[in-house]
Chains A and B, each alone.
Chain A
């Protein structure tokens, strides 16, 4: 199955008066692992739901290889959005069994790999007859990972796959993901809160804040744009000339700042590159780091 480009253009989505996605546009190119990073309530799951045709939206368009995704089975056959299994369904506990989910996935995903699914079931020590409400959060995450990987969909989307997984299981997941990616080269989109761990897996990141993509691009290029500078206040101010200061903190005569751009070379300051998590906090933390 060939891989295509998923494109969202001017996407708007609101629940009642609450705007969740605001004129959002993005392009996901084939053969990459994208990380979608955002705070709680930023609209990550809603965005992924809209991209995969699972959630309706009010304005804009989502296309896969130029064809609309909404209600288009040909396009949807290329996409798997494996979201967290709901513990409640229809106002009561979710009595569906894991088997129901696996059967549905086997029926609806054209490239479903039953052998791989069976291997992952063994690897994760999951029982097919378990009811969803009785699974721990980690086990539910494992089921979503299993469905996503075994779907073999050219565009595979995972929503918070690492939520609830212990550190060993997370490592296992990242290894499986990278093995699969090396083998198939399919596109993955992974939303996560656990940024530092996943940073080495992502090729490109999308930072979502208040319903908008604030930054997107290759991780290396992104990290090269941000610095933390510290030193005497006047030197830091000199270093910050002509660049965007994202946050600054003064302690006595010393000052620390997070900047986007290259600090002035003549300034006598300590400069250090930022990790992805620090960049995210600087861009989307809204001053949280100053508390």
Chain B
């Protein structure tokens, strides 16, 4: 199991480095006086999009990982069961790392006294960010497994998944803005949890019968 996690971790490290690099640039931008409510330039858009960048990077990586890394691991005589569980652990770990990197950047302006900076996420939203990242990872992994052999089904499942994911994200944003009576975005949590579970079950089924190509 440890070998497989190391294998996945080694191959995924560019995603963490890319995300950390991206946020480092954004933090330099904030340190130089950016990230205020008055900013309406391109960098401000990128700054606000930081959580979305994590999703996009992770989605791209996991889609590739679904097919390629499974094939590579099985061709070096790793068992399907080990790969599946190692990948589940890895997804959790990756979501945690991405959340931690983002959390650090959310807290950094406060620590540094950059009081002009408007954080791109509040600390209370980090658990939901973590859940969203995990759901994105599961969906992307499922797409990676499905796409090579059942492209139409893969696209259908992913489109549906992304629509639900967007709905959960928007619902959460509306809850945070106080549109609803309760600030706790229960529906968002349920949808993201459901998506993660669906991705996990789909991946389990496909991985269990995978053949090396």
Contact = CB atoms under 8 A, between A and B. Distances in A.
Contacts of A105: 76
A103 B78 CA distance: 13
A63 interface: no
A107 B6 contact: yes
Contacts of B78: 73, 76, 108
B82 interface: yes
A174 interface: no
Contacts of B68: 89-90, 94, 96
Interface residues of A, number: 30
Nearest to B1: A73
Interface stretch (B121-129, B144-152, B180-188): B144-152
Contacts, number: 75
A147 B72 CA distance: 13
B67 to A, nearest CB: 4
A32 B79 CA distance: 26
Contacts of B147: 90-91
Interface string A97-134: 00011011101110000000000000000000000000
A76 B74 CA distance: 10
Which of A90, A91, A96, A107 has the most C-beta atoms of chain B within 10 angstroms of its own C-beta? A90
A56 B79 contact: no
B151 A104 contact: no
A124 B11 CA distance: 26
Contacts of A96: 68, 72
Interface stretch (A47-55, A162-170, A183-191): A47-55
B77 A72 contact: no
Which of A77, A108, A147 has the most C-beta atoms of chain B within 10 angstroms of its own C-beta? A108
A96 B11 CA distance: 11
Nearest to A15: B211
Interface in B47-84: 64, 67-68, 71-82
Interface string B136-157: 0000000010011001000000
Interface in A39-60: 49, 52-56
Contact of A77 (B7, B77, B213): B77
Interface stretch (A78-86, A202-210, A234-242, A268-276): A78-86
B76 A55 contact: no
Contacts of A65: none
A108 B212 contact: no
B15 to A, nearest CB: 15
Nearest to B10: A103
A108 B211 contact: no
B7 A107 contact: yes
Interface in B1-23: 3, 6-7, 10-11
A71 B79 contact: yes
Contacts of B28: none
A89 B209 contact: no
Contacts of B212: 49, 54-55, 83
Interface string B80-104: 1110000000000000000000000
Contacts of A77: 77
A247 B209 CA distance: 43
Given A90-B144, A104-B73, A108-B7, A53 B211 contact: no
Given A83-B212, A91-B151, A53 B79 contact: yes
B11 to A, nearest CB: 7
A91 B144 CA distance: 11
Nearest to B213: A86
A77 B82 CA distance: 13
Given A107-B3, A108-B7, A54 B67 contact: no
Which of B67, B75, B147, B211 has the most C-beta atoms of chain A within 10 angstroms of its own C-beta? B75
Contacts of A89: 67-68, 71, 148, 213
Interface of A: 49, 52-56, 71-73, 76-77, 79-81, 83, 86, 89-91, 94, 96, 100-101, 103-105, 107-109, 147
Instruction: Across the A-B interface, give the 9 residue pairs with the lowest CB-CB distance, nearest first.
Output: A108-B76, A54-B212, A90-B67, A76-B77, A55-B211, A90-B148, A71-B79, A104-B76, A107-B3
Interface of B: 3, 6-7, 10-11, 64, 67-68, 71-82, 144, 147-148, 151, 209, 211-213
14 contacts: A52-B77, A53-B77, A54-B77, A79-B77, A80-B76, A80-B77, A81-B75, A83-B212, A90-B147, A90-B148, A107-B3, A107-B6, A108-B3, A108-B76
